[in-house]
Amino acid sequence: MRKTHNYDELVERIKAKNLDPQKFVYYLQAFKAGMPPHGGTGTGLERLTARMLNLPNVKEATLFPRDINRIDTLLSTDKKE
């Protein structure tokens, strides 16, 4: 699957997986304003930043780190605690 930076396409992909786009509002905000396409660098800015700052985990240098709990619970605007 190719990567996309298009807001409408991302929303459609979320719906295609039977997920609620409202749970991804925080993540999608950056794409709504117009996210530039991926630069294609192999190393990645996050990995370079993590190395320069001597961070133990690359997720600490990532704006939107991916992990199993973050998308639904930490980025969701309807937190149920």
Residues 6+ away with beta carbon under 8 Å from 11: 21, 28
Domain ranges of the chain: 7-74
**Is residue 38 a contact partner of residue 3, using CB atoms and an 8 Å limit?**
yes
Token pair in block for residue 47: 């990995």
**C-beta atoms surrounding 24 within 10 Å:** 19
For tokens 């980025």, name the residue. Answer: 75
In this predicted model, what pLDDT tens digit does every residue of 14-72 receive, in sequence order?
999 999 999 998 889 888 888 777 666 567 888 889 999 999 988 888 887 777 666 55
pLDDT number for residue 35: 77
Residues 6+ away with beta carbon under 8 Å from 67: 59
pLDDT number for residue 38: 66
Q: What angle do CA 24, 47, 27 make, to 5 degrees?
A: 10
